[in-house]
Amino acid sequence: MGCVRSAMALWWLSMIIFIVRTRGDIYGHCISSPIVDKNACKKIAEANLEGPIVFTSGPSITEASSDFGGIVKNKPAAVLSPASVGDISKLIKIANESPNLTIAARGNGHAVAGQSQALNGIVVNMTSLRGIQIVQKGGGESYADVKGGEFWVNVLRAAQASGLSPRSWTDYIDLSIGGTLSNAGISGQTYRYGPQISNVLQLEVVTGNGNVTNCSSEDQADLFYSTLGGLGQFGIITGAQIVLQKSFDRASQWRFVYWNFTDFTHDQEILISFTQGGAFDYVEGFVIANNKNGWPSIPFLPNATFNSSLIPPTAGVMLYIIEATLYYDEGTNVNQTVQNISSELGFIRGLEFNLDTSYFDFLYRVHPQELADRANDDEHEDQSDIRSVEEAPSMNSNQYVQKNHPEEWIIGDKNEGVHTIRRLARNDEQVFVARSKLEEQLGELIKEERSDLCTRLSKKTAETFMAFDKCRSTNRVVFAKLSKRVSEAMRLAELD
Ligand SMILES: Cc1cc2nc3c(=O)[nH]c(=O)nc-3n(C[C@H](O)[C@H](O)[C@H](O)COP(=O)(O)OP(=O)(O)OC[C@H]3O[C@@H](n4cnc5c(N)ncnc54)[C@H](O)[C@@H]3O)c2cc1C
């Protein structure tokens, strides 16, 4: 008995020494960091955070200093990898009481303009907060209960194990739940189900005062709609309930080539006007140079034949491609369905391409390209004149384009064979069906402003940098007006 007591006493003593040393280490590192508010350092040290907080230069600080864009760089003083929602709550409470401590949540760091950075502040590495629970209910009401730092690809894997799947996606799905839900989350399914933010039943949010709260369209709706698409400014998303629907076995992917911009947009609109069964589940489009640089990137497979003699001599310097995908289950006559839909379309006959894959491989289709890019980086490792694809500044951005947008605007560099700008196949009325208050307000603003909201830019040339800058500044104006309008609405609601 005496032995047990001594062992317990020793354990307690070692715990006390450990806690005192850890607090001392955290405090010491914090006060010698660029954090200006040293009182905050004391509170951070005393907060007993469960997850590690790193102040010393190393991989986590380096990673949090940059993002996918590689254009904006802001070094934080520290990175916290929370082990619980409580860690985030404690940190936000400390920052809330501090005159100058800033915090930013970071998912997979795929933002392109420094949105997940905090100069001399603390970056919260959300990827340490993961977990998925699939909740199956009757009547098509199943959902995934997901932690904010989880990646969408893992939600897909978990849901498919129960024959289910989220229904609204981004093209690239190695992104975090909190990262896309604080933006919008758009892809070819958006025309049917709205962006990802329109497919959320409930959020768990740590608000600006550090409180942990659940909100939905019925409970604290203002917080719910502000946080969805709120660019991380209304709270940190620590959990979300994502609507699920039936999953499918296969995906029949198609590309239809047009030489004429008017036919291209006309057909896109036909395709997105079918929102019920019998329509493509995914509709997007892209633009490509009408020359030897552009043609090979149109067929899905690298060695496939592209018969350019089918392009009419009257065609211009660009070609326009509709991408459309139909989901199906084994045993379904998918070709008949595709034929029924496509017989009405005005693409160049003979220039239609098909790739049949599993449903999972379709949704994860950008991943092989990313692996190829990384392999390309390794090849160029020793050549100082070639910049790594990962490191080179780039600007990927998915935004809306107006229906009546001039053709010239979407055309980037006419000589290059890469996808310049991807245009979403829908018009503003259809996109901004008022599924949420935010969308409703944003939709109104965009109509009023007749703003140019550019879509995905994947090319790294001066032209696309300029186009990107133009889009960004226009979008900033729209968002500034939007937040002014939201604050005004909130002020009026408070007065009521
Ligand atoms: C190659 C590539 C392809 C892309 N494809 C698409 C696409 O098809 N469709 C599309 O819609 N978008 C696309 N994007 C954009 C992407 O959806 C956004 O940049 C998204 O925010 C990235 O998620 P992330 O997890 O990397 O977030 P981060 O880049 O880490 O963070 C982005 C923003 O979200 C905030 N944030 C992060 N986590 C949270 C959280 N838990 N709570 C609150 N705020 C948080 C950050 O503070 C920051 O403001 C693409 C980006 C790249 C680089």
Confidence of residue 212 (pLDDT cuts 50, 70, 90): very high
Least confident of 259-273, 321-335, 419-433, 456-470: 419-433
Question: pLDDT > 90: what percent of the chain?
Answer: 47
Written as six digits, the tokens of 468 are: 């990107």
Please determine, for residue 272, whether its predicted confidence score (pLDDT) is greater than 60.
Answer: yes
- 368-378 pLDDT per residue, tens: 877 776 665 44
Of the candidates 87, 267, 281, 284, the residue annotated as catalytic is: 284
Residue for token pair 């133009």: 470
| C-alpha to C-alpha distance for 171 and 157, rounded to whole angstroms | 16
Nearest alpha carbon, ligand 1 atom 40? 178
* Amino acid symbol at 466: M
Contact 175 CB / ligand 1 (< 6 Å): yes
Contact 422 CB / ligand 1 (< 6 Å): no
Phi-psi region of 493 (alpha: psi -120 to 50; beta: other; left: phi over 0): alpha
Confidence of residue 185 (pLDDT cuts 50, 70, 90): confident
**Residue 284 a catalytic site member:** yes
Domains and CATH numbers, the chain: 2-128 (3.30.43.10), 132-246 (3.30.465.10)
Taking residues 407-427, what's their average pLDDT?
36
CB contact set of 227 (below 8 Å; sequence gap of 6+): 181, 182, 203, 205, 215, 234, 235, 237
pLDDT, position 387: 36
Ligand 1 pocket mutation, candidates 71, 176, 367, 394, criterion most atoms within 8 A of CB: 176
Contact 168 CB / ligand 1 (< 6 Å): no
pLDDT, position 453: 41
Please determine, for residue 47, whether its predicted confidence score (pLDDT) is greater than 60.
Answer: yes
Taking residues 412-420, what's their average pLDDT?
34
C-alpha 168 to ligand 1 mean position (Å) = 15
- 152-183 pLDDT per residue, tens: 999 999 999 999 999 999 989 999 999 999 98
- 307-349 pLDDT per residue, tens: 999 999 999 877 888 999 999 999 988 988 899 889 989 999 9
pLDDT, position 481: 62
pLDDT, position 460: 43
Ligand 1 pocket mutation, candidates 183, 282, 323, criterion most atoms within 8 A of CB: 183
Of the candidates 110, 419, 428, 439, the residue annotated as catalytic is: 110
With CA atoms as reference, report the closest residue to 103 among 47, 35, 52, 45.
Answer: 35
Confidence of residue 150 (pLDDT cuts 50, 70, 90): very high
| C-alpha to C-alpha distance for 223 and 213, rounded to whole angstroms | 10
